[in-house]
């Protein structure tokens, strides 16, 4: 267990994010596991993969049409005897007799002796012959073995996040199981007696628990495997039990709520004796924060207000988790502000929820879509970016350039 001071002075968001990144960076040394190609979508490849076979494996037709010798169709129109049909999956072993044609389907093996394919659109056929109206050169509409990739050549590089196109290539090459890095695994614990699950009738003073679901979704969207989503009331024994189960199951634990300086702050109460570092970060929303290492597992403690929890994740945890998962950084823009920001708290970096204003597909401005309140979770649904207002800025006029982060 790493011992940490119980509190710190107010820290900048960048400084605190860097501390989190340093703490989580060792998670890059994740074990390798083998999965089927069908299970590998979204996983990070651990080793270079090479083609075990040529692709295509055999010489085949690129079109539905007729396999012929180019010299037999050098002068058109010409009528040739038609000697059967080769479907995809047939052996195609019977050689083509010179001066004849054989019907072939796309992907079917090309008969020995044929060197080009006449597309069916350039033919008129009956039961025994085919008239060809346009000749072709040797090699036209023929897929040669290895023309896509040769056996032994590099197929997909290590560290690639496997997308559907990679899965297609690996499967086509006949690879059954591949090595991937085990994902970062996280457990989310939301806290508070006031939280109840959706579908439950609300009693006075209760609210629905959005934090657990929202943070689980955010983790999944950024390449992290969610190993559990738990809820604890304000009883320390319950939280302590869930915490130790979480650290046994995951590489990272994220808690929400119980981090301020009021009463019933169960997260602070349990984690400060374990070396928890709790204090204030100069950002809004998301000021109260906590950081602890329990049983060797980092525990990030975010505020309980729904917007504060989501913004804390986006600003402080998302960059390093995307890096660990092999994902690129989220897009950032500098755009003019549509409308004014009348008041931003001096000394605190404010993250307002905003919406891109686009001219076609290209954003040309951004507008604020809700107030700064950390409870305005429904309004956040209308946002697609965070508007980053520096700590030294207290107001902005219309047209001012602001930095925005994609949500």
Q: Structure pTM?
A: 0.82
Lowest mean pLDDT among 253-257, 285-289, 367-371: 367-371
Neighbours of 107 (CB within 10 A): 16
Going by the DSSP 8-state scheme, the letter that residue 316 receives in this structure is: I
If you count them, how many residues does the chain have? 407
Stretch (H or E) spanning 243? helix 236-249
Output the pLDDT for position 374. Answer: 56
**Residue-averaged pLDDT of the chain:** 93
pLDDT surpasses 70 at 134: yes
pLDDT band at 6 (very low <50, low <70, confident <90, very high): very low
Closest CA to 228 of 248, 206, 209: 248
pLDDT value at position 3?
A: 37
What radius of gyration do the chain's Cα atoms show? 31
pLDDT exceeds 80 at position 46: yes
The pLDDT, as a whole number, for residue 372 is 67
Query: How many other CB atoms are found less than 10 A from the CB of residue 138?
Result: 11
Per-residue confidence (pLDDT) for residue 393, from 0 to 100: 94
The pLDDT of residue 87:
96
Residue 366 has pLDDT above 60, yes or no: yes
Same domain, 49 and 167: yes
Indicate which CATH number applies to the domain containing 176.
3.90.105.10
User: Does position 285 have pLDDT exceeding 50, yes or no?
Assistant: yes
pLDDT of 51-79, one tens digit each?
Answer: 999 999 999 999 999 999 999 999 999 99
User: pLDDT band for position 8 (50/70/90)?
Assistant: low
Give a yes or no: residue 1 inside a domain: no
Residue 77 lies in a domain: yes
Does 360 lie in the same domain as 318?
no
- Cα(135)–Cα(149) distance, rounded to whole angstroms? 29
Question: Could you tell me if 320 and 370 lie in one domain?
Answer: no
pLDDT at 276: 96
pLDDT of residue 261: 78
- What is the arithmetic mean of pLDDT over 89-101? 92
Same domain, 175 and 138: no
Contacts of 15 (CB under 8 A, 6+ apart): none
Domain with 341, as residue range(s), is 332-406
Tokens found for residue 303: 């505020």
Whether residues 174 and 301 share a domain: the answer is no
What tens digit of pLDDT does each residue of 319-343 get? 999 999 988 899 898 999 999 998 9
pLDDT digits (tens, 9 = 90+) for 227-258: 999 999 999 999 999 999 999 999 999 999 99
Instruction: CATH number of the domain at 399, please.
Output: 2.40.340.10
- Residue 43 and residue 176 share a domain: yes
- What percentage of the chain carries pLDDT values higher than 90? 86
Q: Residue 70: how many CB atoms within 10 A of its CB?
A: 16
Is residue 272 assigned to a domain? yes
**Average of pLDDT values for 368-381?**
73
Residue 176 backbone class (left: φ over 0; alpha: ψ -120 to 50; beta: rest): alpha
Residue (of 230, 281, 54) closest to 150 by Cα position: 54
Q: Is the pLDDT of residue 206 over 80?
A: yes
Dihedral pair phi/psi, residue 143, rounded to 5°? -95, 115
User: Which tokens belong to 264?
Assistant: 């019933």
Task: Read off the CATH number of the domain in which 258 is found.
Answer: 3.40.980.10
d(CA 118, CA 124): 11
Residues 232 and 313 in one domain: yes
Number of domains in the chain: 4
Q: Is residue 4 part of a domain?
A: no
**Considering the domain boundaries, does residue 8 fall inside one?**
no
Q: Which of 332, 298, 316 lies closest to 13 in space, CA to CA?
A: 316
Q: What backbone torsions phi and psi does residue 378 show, to the nearest 5 degrees?
A: -65, -40
Q: Is the pLDDT of residue 4 over 50?
A: no
Comparing CA positions, the residue from 52, 58, 49, 62 lying closest to residue 146 is: 58
Q: 1 falls in which pLDDT band (50, 70, 90)?
A: very low
How confident is the model at residue 9, as a pLDDT? 79
């Amino acid at each position: 267990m790493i011992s940490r001071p119980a509190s710190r002075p107010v820290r900048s968001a960048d400084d605190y994010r860097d501390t989190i990144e340093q703490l989580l960076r060792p998670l890059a040394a994740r074990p390798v596991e083998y999965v089927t190609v069908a299970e590998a979508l979204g996983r990070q490849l651990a080793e270079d993969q090479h083609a075990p076979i040529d692709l295509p494996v055999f010489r085949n037709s690129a079109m539905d049409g007729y396999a012929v010798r180019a010299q037999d169709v050098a002068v058109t129109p010409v009528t040739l005897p038609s000697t059967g049909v080769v479907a995809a999956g047939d052996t195609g072993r019977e050689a083509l007799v010179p001066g004849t044609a054989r019907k072939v389907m796309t992907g079917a093996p090309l008969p020995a002796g044929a060197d080009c394919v006449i597309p069916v659109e350039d033919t008129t056929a009956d039961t025994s012959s085919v008239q060809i109206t346009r000749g072709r050169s040797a090699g036209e509409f023929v897929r040669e073995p290895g023309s896509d990739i040769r056996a032994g050549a590099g197929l997909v590089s290590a560290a690639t996040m496997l997308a559907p196109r990679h899965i297609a290539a690996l499967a086509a090459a006949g690879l059954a199981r591949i090595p991937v890095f085990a994902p970062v695994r996280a457990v989310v614990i939301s806290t508070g007696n006031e939280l109840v699950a959706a579908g439950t009738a609300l009693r006075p003073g209760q609210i629905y628990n959005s934090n657990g679901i929202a943070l689980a979704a955010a983790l999944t969207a950024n390449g992290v495997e969610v190993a559990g989503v738990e809820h604890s009331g304000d009883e320390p024994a319950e939280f302590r039990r869930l915490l130790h189960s979480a650290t046994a199951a995951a590489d990272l634990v994220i808690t929400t709520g119980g981090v301020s300086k009021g009463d019933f702050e169960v997260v602070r109460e349990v984690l400060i004796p374990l070396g928890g570092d709790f204090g204030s970060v100069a950002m809004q929303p998301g000021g109260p924060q906590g950081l602890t290492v329990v049983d060797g597992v980092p525990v990030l403690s975010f505020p309980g207000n729904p917007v504060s929890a989501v913004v804390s994740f986006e600003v402080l945890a998302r960059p390093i988790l995307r890096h660990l998962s092999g994902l690129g950084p989220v897009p950032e823009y500098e755009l003019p502000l549509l409308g004014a920001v009348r008041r931003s708290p001096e000394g605190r970096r404010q993250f307002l929820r905003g919406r891109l204003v686009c001219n076609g597909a290209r954003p040309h401005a951004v507008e604020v879509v809700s107030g700064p309140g950390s409870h305005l979770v429904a309004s956040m649904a209308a946002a697609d970016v965070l508007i980053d207002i520096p700590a030294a800025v207290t107001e902005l006029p219309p047209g001012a350039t602001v930095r925005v982060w994609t949500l």
